[in-house]
A and B are shown apart, each in its own frame.
Chain A
Amino acid sequence: MDPECSRLLPALCAVLADPRQPMTDDTCLEKLLDWFKTVTETESSLLLLQENPCLVELLSQALKFQDVSSRILSFSLRLAGIFAAQENCFQFLQQGELLLGLFGEAGPLGLPAWNVPSVRSGWIQGLCSLAKHPSAEQFLVDCGAVDTIFSLQEDSSLFVASAASQLLVQVLSLSIQGRATPQLGSSDGDWPSCAQSIVGYLEESLRSGATPQITQALKVLTTTFGRCHHSWTEALWMRLSPLVTCLLEKDTVPTAHSLADLFLSMARSPTFGSSDCDLWVTLAQTLSCLSPTQAGPLALGILKLHVCPQALKTQAFDVLLQPLACVLEAAAQVPGSSGLPDGTGSNPTMADALLASTSSCAALLCQSLAHLGELQALPHSPRPWPQVLLLEATMMTLRFCSGSAVPISSVGGRLCGILASCIRVQRAALDFLGMLSQGTGPQESVTQVFAILLEYLRSPESSPTVLKKAFQATLRWLLSMSKACGSNNPDPHTQPFLRELFPVMQKRLCNPCWEVRDSALEFLTHLTTHWGGQPDFREALLASDVPELTQQLLQDPEAYVRASAVTAMGQLASQGLHATPSGPEHPGAKQKSLPQELLHILSLDSEGFPRRAVMQVFTQWLQDGHPAMAEDLEQFMARVFQVVSRDLDWEVRVQGLELARVFLAQTLGPPDCPYAVALPAATPPTSPAEVLRTLGRVQLLEFAFRALFDCDRPVAQKSCDLLLLLRARTAPGGGLQGAECNPEAVTVEAALRAWQAGEQGQPLGELVPEVVVAILRALDLEGLQATLAESSDHVEQSPRSLLQDMLAAVGALGGHEADCY
């Protein structure tokens, strides 16, 4: 332990033990515990206590329960546990009967403080830390803690009950570990007494018939099988399995979720997964007796298992597919030759769940769609994957939701009414439809997919969130189509679809709901990024009003929309698809060019998002060598850097530095690489002095120097990196002669120092190349980089600082009070 901390400890312990000085900040105590935990991981706890007797005193103070606040009591219990985790320290604390006093029956159990959940929780966590060695087991038995742990299983506080359950698992595992498993049979005598009492308790709970007790017992078992993979767990299961499987025989299984968790935890354990116990039979039985909604998560869990019999996986897959099979059946479309299980006909509970109410139907369908979506993304998705039928079923679900399905059967009619305009199902189905784009489908299915997507994109009834999902799904399908066909071979679906799409986009860009305009713009950006170069796409886009409408949205009242419009315009312009400045509807009105318009947004927009978007567009344009930037580049850059250096949003300034970096890299040209295969560039490399003069003209240097002392760390870091790069390329040791004693350099340095001190008003002198080199050399950029790399609170996070803060908080550090002001 840090000697300085050691010195502060006695005062702190005195403060903690003093009931007149209540510690109000819980987080300090938590941090203190964390610190002790770290210390005891590397040092001997015994030594620690011997060297710092104040700690033992603090713990014994906690024994005078009436004097101690519940906060400190809980803290002391946990602290004692941390120390007693080491066996020699445990013995040491035991000698003083300190542990018995804290955790035994004479401890806080009978006191009013026990009613405070944090005290009960502290007691449990203390024991959790402590129960690590054989002596602890005996202690637990002797002090009667096990019975208390049983009673805490049903604690009113969920946190306490959950921690108690974890503790029970730990105690069970502690008492059994190290004993020979073959001895563990079904008779009580075979088990160590402590384990025996726990197993007895579990048996009793499972038999009780009361749902909370059964659930708690199942949770204990789930944790046990999840954590311990020794062979004794199998013995434990042999003993308890009849009681557990008994639960499945009831008409409705009240603890379905806990049972599913338990079986899945067992199936994942190497002890059970490979053995020939009848776990798989039990799982199959469970799948068939749970209600459709309850069986869903279990089925998904089974399908995610690495080791599992194929028959069980098929059964689980059927559970997930069944709701969709019902939808197909309801639409009076006879399920195909294979792939989907029978629908409602064979499973009346499924029909009940689907047709009972909108909420149960939506819950079941959404769950099924989400689970199937999760499975599809897995590398080992179930085979055979009924792609076509899933496509059909998903589209049919979407048609039911939009009211465009015309079912013949009565079940279909009911379903139509239940699902009509159900936004939840629409979202889930569109998500899943998007995922299905990964697989292939027959031509007519794909045509139908695009038709239903268009229906949703077009329908005025689609809510903004549904529309967003429809955009996403459309994008995924378009992408997969173009991937399947290759870039030279236009897909037969895309072209007609695009022709229909842009009129819809026009309408969406004019929607009064800003979320709709925003997602339409985002969609447009993605479309343009991927297909901006394709003639079909360009033709369809340019035939519509979409580019003009996008430009108009640069003035949208909503900041998010403006930001998306900036990004979209940037992308359109990159591909040469933006509207020409003089629109036909405003002849005569002189319009700004796009770069000027974006610069206007950067200078005047009151919100950060559009300004950030503008900087990203500029950086992208510069990187791509966009023609809009080529004209008068220096003058334009100078204007941008001038504006961005005064921006109030640090993210905009960081973006500005990124633009500066790209500009710098382009001005410098590629670094001299001895192994470069490329032919020497046609233009001779620019001289460092010329580079610096250019940077000066575009105001980049002033911006970078100003940013170096920015109060926002990421800005300063980025600027530091930029200047380091500049120094490496323009003033590497030799080369351009610095002018250390140049009087101008002195002025500039003085100005920089003033800036560093926070006086940004002072003007920087003229930045001639020599001065810049001199300053770059004079500045300790590496030092600055190292300082900036450390997080701003690295000083404040040290344990010493913690102790000082805690003492200062109660005013125990005399004379420091004034610091607060």
Chain B
Amino acid sequence: FFQYCLSGHPTLPCNILKFKSTTIMLDCGLDMTSTLNFLPLPLVQSPRLSNLPSWSLKDGNAYLDKELKECSGHVFVDSVPEFCLPETELIDMSTVDVILISNYHCMMALPYITEHTGFTGTVYATEPTLQIGRLLMEELVNFIERVPKAQSASLWKNKDVQRLLPSPLKDAVEVSTWRRCYSMQEVNSALSKIQLVGYSQKIELFGAVQVTPLSSGYALGSSNWVIQSHYEKVSYVSGSSLLTTHPQPMDQASLKNSDVLLLTGLTQIPTANPDGMVGEFCSNLALTVRNGGNVLVPCYPSGVIYDLLECLYQYIDSAGLSNVPFYFISPVANSSLEFSQIFAEWLCHNKQTKVYLPEPPFPHAELIQTNKLKHYPSIHGDFSNDFRQPCVVFTGHPSLRFGDVVHFLELWGKSSLNTVIFTEPDFSYLDALAPYQPLAMKCIYCPIDTRLNFIQVSKLLKEVQPLHVVCPEQYTQPPPTQSHRMDLMIDCQPPAMSYRRAEVLALPFKRRYEKIEIMPELADSLVPMEIKPGISLATVSAVLHTKDNKHVLQPPPRSTQPTSGKKRKRVSDDIPDCKVLKPLLSGSIPVEQFVQTLEKHGFSDIKVEDTAKGHIVLLQEAETLIQIEEDSTHIICDNDEMLRVRLRDLVLKFLQKF
């Protein structure tokens, strides 16, 4: 039982589990924070960005000046943004049997894994995960492909060069493995390998392991996974939420009795409570719009945006915002809004019941109907005709490096009336804003992360009581900025095992049992003997048959000769390997009674000595010694076979045979 840890990002995990005879990849998250080192891709030619000064090494060597630009004291790579892939050197990907996806944010590296590594297995995910994951990938590809950039920078990645660069470029890890974005063709090919599953569906892997997705409450179709054999159970918890938002609530009960619970995807902002943040979001939005400013909300096209729109639906009237237009701009905006309405079975109970009324489960349908919310694939086309200010714009990408958001930041950044409100917790907002500095626009940071916080984790662990917890190393110590907050870490007994990128962990399984089936006719022939109340034993002679990780005890093969009346005698002849079995013994010898029996049978001069492990009965006259221990009895006598047999029979009287 091993775990190969391919990602160092606790919320974008990628782990491989060697469990029994299977190799299972758990999620393949793509760390996109690497893109923060690159210059934004502007949709419209930006004189500011194209005129940024080049950065060169202190020695005056100018060969990097095409690759690196300087902006407000930060250095950025001027090329197509690149992503940090999961570790691919640690294990041969062609040996991976299956990939289990827990939610659409944790599958963004899938094309890199399935397309170019020799992977031949199957990917399992729920339908909303597949569909919304496709939207996220489609948006990403679209954002990057529609701003073609010929230049690809690679000189700066040279190790000798990199260490001369300023932070954070200097500290970026594994830059040589960073890759450009995949193509739509690769996305389609990767997604075609996905097999759809439903919550609580049991999927057999090679007969050895059963995997089951469980609702995790975080996003549409998000799941935790239980991976179990007959005697071992691993629960994989990734991106779960106990809050009442739009998805089906989390299934906690099925996580009980796990030997190992692999815990990833906790909230990235443990000190911020989502309710308070939503309040902060709404009031800042209202105040900005009241003063004639515009609000920009960098976001993903699915997820928290549904909850935000629902919240705004209830809020805009009370805040007098009924006349303010809300724009949602994304190549997949339309599909995202419509998909959310059709996944009824994956929604929380409240929203499910609406479907039967019938009403759309999310109120954004009404916002669209009443023209309060409008959505566009991009800023080009219809949007430029309808655009009215002051307004609120939801658009991607939260990294602020590509997508329509780049345009709005350039457009609105100079006015202090406007506000950019960060709700997605994946990127540091200060780093995201770095290439836009100096910025007059107000910046509000209200990260809304509904995933489990540490209090909820400790309740969850108390509830499910796993024998061992395994988690990313970040969760085993307080966050570096708040080192005194001992409550912001996982506190459990025994202490959680932690892992980091490129580490291989041996999982602590104690049990060593296998389930073996007995064929009915063989079972019929057994004659169990009760040796203790409730415990019966029987000996069995059989052939162990193992195929597809299933073990079956079959009756021993019979003779091919025609059977005759002397069958019984022949049995032993037919199986030469099988010796005549001596009966097995069980029970313990009560020393006092044994001594009395010896005396009855004419032995005298008996001495009993206590030893550390039992007793020694000495027959001094016969110069014989009977050693009685818990699991063995020895009769030691000098060449007197008669005496030994007599004594043996006396010993056997006290034991049960079967």
- Give A residues with C-beta under 8 Å from B: 403, 406-407, 412-414, 416-418, 420-421, 459-463, 506-514, 516-517, 545, 548-549, 552-553, 555-558, 561, 585
Q: List 18 A-B contacts (CB under 8 A).
A: A417-B488, A420-B485, A460-B273, A460-B280, A461-B272, A463-B276, A507-B283, A510-B319, A511-B283, A512-B283, A512-B315, A512-B318, A516-B279, A517-B318, A552-B320, A556-B318, A558-B318, A585-B291
What 3 pairs between A and B have smallest CB-CB spacing? A417-B487, A510-B283, A460-B276
B486 and A413 form a contact (CB under 8 A): yes
A507 and B487 form a contact (CB under 8 A): no
Q: State whether the Cβ of B621 lies closer than 8 Å to any Cβ in chain A.
A: no
CB neighbours of A516 from chain B (8 A): 279
Q: State whether the Cβ of B317 lies closer than 8 Å to any Cβ in chain A.
A: yes
CB neighbours of B286 from chain A (8 A): 510
CB neighbours of B278 from chain A (8 A): 512
CA distance A461 to B269 in the complex (A): 13
Q: Which of A414, A417, A418, A421 has the most CB of B within 10 A?
A: A417
Query: Given the interface contacts A461-B272, A461-B273, A545-B290, does A514 sit within 8 Å of B318 by beta carbon?
Result: yes
Q: State whether the Cβ of B311 lies closer than 8 Å to any Cβ in chain A.
A: yes
Query: Given the interface contacts A403-B271, A552-B320, does A416 sit within 8 Å of B485 by beta carbon?
Result: yes
The listed residue (A412, A549, A552, A553) touching B484 by CB distance below 8 A is A412
A555: shortest Cβ distance to chain B, in Å? 7
B215: shortest Cβ distance to chain A, in Å? 27
Q: State whether the Cβ of B282 lies closer than 8 Å to any Cβ in chain A.
A: yes
Query: Given the interface contacts A461-B272, A585-B292, does A510 sit within 8 Å of B487 by beta carbon?
Result: no
B328: shortest Cβ distance to chain A, in Å? 19
CB neighbours of B276 from chain A (8 A): 459-463
Q: Which of A406, A509, A513, A555 has the most CB of B within 10 A?
A: A513
The listed residue (B273, B282, B317) touching A511 by CB distance below 8 A is B282
Query: Given the interface contacts A460-B276, A511-B283, does A416 sit within 8 Å of B487 by beta carbon?
Result: yes
B446 and A460 form a contact (CB under 8 A): yes
Interface membership of chain B positions 249-292, coded 1 if the CB is closer than 8 angstroms to chain A and 0 otherwise? 00000000000000000000001110011111011101100111
A511 and B486 form a contact (CB under 8 A): no
CA distance A216 to B271 in the complex (A): 48
B290 and A417 form a contact (CB under 8 A): no
B450: shortest Cβ distance to chain A, in Å? 15
Closest A residue to B292 by beta carbon equals: A585
CB neighbours of A416 from chain B (8 A): 484-487
CB neighbours of A407 from chain B (8 A): 484
Contacts A416-B485, A510-B286, A512-B282 aside, 13 further interface pairs with beta carbons under 8 A come to A403-B482, A413-B484, A413-B485, A414-B486, A418-B487, A460-B280, A461-B272, A461-B276, A463-B276, A510-B282, A511-B279, A512-B315, A512-B318
Query: Given the interface contacts A413-B484, A416-B487, A461-B272, does A585 sit within 8 Å of B282 by beta carbon?
Result: no
CA distance A585 to B26 in the complex (A): 53
CB neighbours of B446 from chain A (8 A): 460
The listed residue (B279, B290, B317) touching A585 by CB distance below 8 A is B290
CA distance A413 to B478 in the complex (A): 11
- Give B residues with C-beta under 8 Å from A: 271-273, 276-280, 282-284, 286-287, 290-292, 311, 314-315, 317-320, 446, 482, 484-488
Query: Given the interface contacts A460-B276, A512-B278, A545-B291, does A417 sit within 8 Å of B486 by beta carbon?
Result: yes
CB neighbours of A460 from chain B (8 A): 272-273, 276-277, 279-280, 446
A510 and B311 form a contact (CB under 8 A): no
B487 and A420 form a contact (CB under 8 A): yes
Closest A residue to B276 by beta carbon equals: A460
A391: shortest Cβ distance to chain B, in Å? 23
CA distance A506 to B272 in the complex (A): 21
CB neighbours of B317 from chain A (8 A): 557
B287 and A506 form a contact (CB under 8 A): yes
CA distance A460 to B272 in the complex (A): 8
A508 and B484 form a contact (CB under 8 A): no
A507: shortest Cβ distance to chain B, in Å? 4
CA distance A506 to B280 in the complex (A): 11
Closest B residue to A420 by beta carbon equals: B487
CB neighbours of B486 from chain A (8 A): 413-414, 416-417
CB neighbours of A406 from chain B (8 A): 484
B283 and A508 form a contact (CB under 8 A): yes
Closest A residue to B285 by beta carbon equals: A510
A507 and B484 form a contact (CB under 8 A): no
A512 and B279 form a contact (CB under 8 A): yes
Closest A residue to B323 by beta carbon equals: A586
CA distance A513 to B311 in the complex (A): 10
CA distance A406 to B478 in the complex (A): 13
CB neighbours of A414 from chain B (8 A): 486
The listed residue (A421, A461, A512, A552) touching B314 by CB distance below 8 A is A512
CA distance A513 to B482 in the complex (A): 30
CA distance A692 to B278 in the complex (A): 58
Closest B residue to A551 by beta carbon equals: B320
CA distance A556 to B319 in the complex (A): 8
B313: shortest Cβ distance to chain A, in Å? 11
A510 and B287 form a contact (CB under 8 A): yes
CB neighbours of B292 from chain A (8 A): 585
B79: shortest Cβ distance to chain A, in Å? 38
CB neighbours of B319 from chain A (8 A): 510, 512, 552
B279 and A403 form a contact (CB under 8 A): no
CB neighbours of A557 from chain B (8 A): 317-318
CA distance A516 to B283 in the complex (A): 11
A613: shortest Cβ distance to chain B, in Å? 17
CB neighbours of A517 from chain B (8 A): 318
CA distance A555 to B283 in the complex (A): 17
CB neighbours of A459 from chain B (8 A): 276
CA distance A713 to B283 in the complex (A): 45
CA distance A716 to B292 in the complex (A): 52
CA distance A516 to B486 in the complex (A): 31
CB neighbours of B487 from chain A (8 A): 416-418, 420
CB neighbours of A509 from chain B (8 A): 283
B287 and A421 form a contact (CB under 8 A): no
CB neighbours of B320 from chain A (8 A): 552, 555
CB neighbours of B314 from chain A (8 A): 512
Closest A residue to B277 by beta carbon equals: A460
A563: shortest Cβ distance to chain B, in Å? 14
CA distance A649 to B57 in the complex (A): 80
CB neighbours of A512 from chain B (8 A): 278-279, 282-283, 311, 314-315, 318-319
CA distance A459 to B271 in the complex (A): 12
B273 and A507 form a contact (CB under 8 A): no
Closest A residue to B482 by beta carbon equals: A403
CB neighbours of B272 from chain A (8 A): 460-461
Closest A residue to B279 by beta carbon equals: A511
A773: shortest Cβ distance to chain B, in Å? 51
CA distance A418 to B320 in the complex (A): 41
CA distance A460 to B445 in the complex (A): 11
Q: Which of A508, A510, A552 has the most CB of B within 10 A?
A: A510
CA distance A26 to B603 in the complex (A): 90
CA distance A514 to B283 in the complex (A): 12
CA distance A417 to B453 in the complex (A): 13
CB neighbours of B311 from chain A (8 A): 512
CA distance A549 to B284 in the complex (A): 13
CA distance A657 to B276 in the complex (A): 44
Closest B residue to A405 by beta carbon equals: B484
B287 and A545 form a contact (CB under 8 A): yes
CB neighbours of A421 from chain B (8 A): 273
CA distance A516 to B282 in the complex (A): 13
Closest A residue to B280 by beta carbon equals: A460
CB neighbours of A420 from chain B (8 A): 485, 487
CB neighbours of B280 from chain A (8 A): 460, 507
CB neighbours of B283 from chain A (8 A): 506-512
CA distance A506 to B291 in the complex (A): 12
B297: shortest Cβ distance to chain A, in Å? 15
CA distance A510 to B280 in the complex (A): 9
A556: shortest Cβ distance to chain B, in Å? 5
A544: shortest Cβ distance to chain B, in Å? 10
CB neighbours of A511 from chain B (8 A): 279, 282-283
